[in-house]
Amino acid sequence: MLPTPDTSHVPFSRVYEPSEDSYLLLDTLSAPAETAFLHARFQGHPPLVLEVGTGSGVVIAFVVAQAAHLFGRRDILAAGVDVNPFACRATNDTVRKAQVDHPGTHAPCWLGADVGDLAAPLPPGKVDILLFNPPYVPSEALPSLPPDAAAPSDLAGLAYSLSNLTDRTPSFDGDSYLLALSYAGGRDGMETTSRLVESLPDILSARGCAYILLCAQNKPDDVKARVGRLGPSWRALTVGESGNKAGWEKLQVIRISKDNVRDRRES
Amino acid sequence: MKVISLNFLTCAVKSCKSSGAAFPLHPKDAELVQDDIELNAQMLLNILPRLDWAALRTNATELGFPELPAELPTREALEADEKKLKDLHHLLVETQIMEGKLVCRNCGHEYAIREGIANFLLPSHLV
Ligand SMILES: [Zn+2]
C-alpha cells in the first residue's frame, strides 16, 4: 500500500474531505493492472495529468508523489482545476507537502491548481490522463457555478459571488454552498459528469485516457454506452470497484480511452 | 503558478478555443517570486520537447526575461551548456507568478491571478 498524502492542513468545512471515493481512485491507479497500463502507454512520452475537481488535492498529490511507481518515470507534468478557490489553495499545499514527503519518487513539475469549470482552462488535445471524482450524488438542483469566484483570501469577493447566485440555489450559503459544488450532481448525479464526457474528444490527446468515478445511481452502463457513441475507437472499462461499506453505496472507476487496441480484460 | 504553466493554459471562452490568438495567454502586471528548486537536468530535457517553444518564447520576453533562441536548442547542445540549462530551469520551474493577470488576445478577457492561482471562471456574459 502506497501512503496517502497528508491533508491535515485542509479546511474541511469548505473543501471536500477525502473519503471512500477518493481512496478508491488511489487504489485503482496504484493497482498492478493500471500501473502496467500506464507504464506501457506513456513509455517515452511524459504525460500531462489533469485532475478536475481536486478538492483537498489528495488524489493528484498521490499521483505526483508516486509518479515513479505509477508511470515508471518522474518527468510527468501535473495540474489541477477546481471551482472552489479554497480547494485550489488546499491542493497546492497538499501537493507541495507530498513532494517533500516523497523525495525519491515524486514528480517535480507541479503546474499548479487554478479555479475553473472542468478542463476549460486547458488548450484542446493536451491532456494525457484526466482524473475526475465528480459531484455524483443525485440532487434536485445543480448548484450554479460562482460567476467570478474570489481568490482564497478575498472573502469580500466570495461574499460578492455568493450574493450573485441564481435562484436555483436559494438555500446554499457560504461554506455549505462550496461543499455542495463538490458533491451535488443534479439529475442522476450525472449533469456535470455528462458535460465532461461529451467534451473528452476535445480535451484528451491522441493517447489520452480519463479515469472517472461513478456511483450505482449514475447508471454506469449508460455512461459506458454514451462513451461508445463518441466514436468507434472510444472504450470505457471498469478498472476499480468497491462494495457497499460504511454507508457508502457501490462505487466504481471507469477508464475511458480512444484506442484501437482492445484491452485483454474487455469482454 | 510557474512560468511553464502558461504553456498549458488558454482562454476559457468556448469560441476562443479554435483561435490561434487565444494561446498563449499574456501576463500583465505580473508579480514574480523566485523559488529555489534543485535542477534535475534529465527531467528538464525530457519535458522541453513537450513545450510550445514559440509560446514560451513570447511569455519569457513579456515577463522581462532575456530573449530565448528562435528554436528549442537540441538536447546535445543543452547537455553541453549547463548555464543555458540552468537559465531555462530558472525561467520555467523556479519563477512563479503570484499576482497579476493573464490576458486573451482574441477576446480581451483578463483572468486574475491571486496567490498564484488564476481564476478561469467566466462572467455570465462570456459563458
Ligand atoms: Zn478569449
To the nearest 10°, report the CA torsion of A159, A161, A165, A169. Answer: -60
Stretch A125-130: mean pLDDT: 97
Q: What is the pLDDT of residue A259?
A: 79
> Quick one: angle between helices A85-101 and A58-65, nearest 10?
30
Residues A142-147: what's their mean pLDDT?
76
Contact (CB<8Å) A115/B121: yes
pLDDT class of A246 with cuts at 50, 70, 90: low
Structure confidence at residue A247 (pLDDT): 65
Using alpha carbons, list the distances in angstroms from residue A125 to A41, A60, A79, B18: 16, 20, 15, 12
Per-residue pLDDT tens over the stretch A220-230:
999 999 999 99
| Closest by Cβ to B12, choosing from A89, A121, A202 | A121
- Report for A56-60, A149-153, A168-172: range of highest mean pLDDT: A56-60
Element (H or E) spanning A132, and its range?
Answer: strand A127-132
Q: What is the mean pLDDT of chain A?
A: 87
Say which CATH class A20-258 falls into. Answer: alpha beta
- In chain A, the residue whose alpha carbon lies closest to the alpha carbon of B51 is A126
Q: Cα-flanking dihedrals φ and ψ of residue A237, to 5°? A: -140, 135
> What are the backbone dihedrals phi and psi of residue A219, each rounded to the nearest 5 degrees, phi first?
55, 70
In A64-100, which positions are buried (b, 16+ CB within 10 angstroms) versus exposed (e)? bbbbebbbebbbbbbbbbbbbbbbbbbbbbbbebbbe
DSSP conformational letter for B120: -
Average pLDDT of the residues in A20-49: 96
**pLDDT for res A245:** 65
Per-residue pLDDT reduced to its tens digit, A69-86: 999 999 999 999 999 999
Q: How confident is the model at residue A1 (pLDDT cuts 50, 70, 90)?
A: confident
Contacts of B118 in chain A (CB under 8 A): 114-115, 121
Residue A267 has pLDDT above 60, yes or no: no
**Residue A244 pLDDT greater than 50, yes or no:** yes
Q: Is B90 on the interface with A (CB under 8 A)?
A: no
Rounded Cα distance between B97 and B23, Å, is 18
Q: Which three cell numbers stand for residue A184?
A: 451535488
Query: B3-126 domain in CATH 2.60.40.10?
Result: no
Confirm or reject contact between A197 and chain B (CB < 8 A).
no
The DSSP string of A42-62 is TTTSPPEEEEES-TTSHHHHH
Question: What's the rounded Cα separation, in Å, for the pair A34 and A211?
Answer: 11
Contact B80, B12 (CB under 8 A): no
Q: How confident is the model at residue A173 (pLDDT cuts 50, 70, 90)?
A: low
The predicted model gives B46-73 an average pLDDT of 96
Distance B16 CA to ligand 1 centre (A): 5
For the full predicted model, state whether its pTM sits above 0.80.
Answer: yes
Taking CA A229 as the corner, what is the angle to CA A224 and CA A231, rounded to the nearest 5 degrees? Answer: 115
Ligand 1 ion local residues (Cβ < 5 A): B 11, 13, 16, 22, 104, 106-107
Query: What is the structure's pLDDT at B86?
Result: 96
Residue A117 CA to ligand 1 center (angstroms) comes to: 15
The confidence band for A100, taking pLDDT boundaries of 50, 70 and 90, is very high
- Please tell me if residue A46 touches chain B, with a CB cutoff of 8 Å: yes
Confidence tier at A260 by pLDDT (50, 70, 90):
low
Using the Cβ of A109 and the Cβ atoms of chain B, whether some distance falls under 8 Å is answered with yes
**Which whole number is the average pLDDT over A44-62?**
97
Please give the grid coordinates belonging to residue A182.
463538490
With beta carbons less than 8 A apart as the criterion, state whether B14 and B110 touch.
Answer: no
Which pLDDT does position A148 carry in this prediction?
55
Rounded to two decimals, the ipTM of the complex is 0.96
Domain ranges of chain B: 3-126
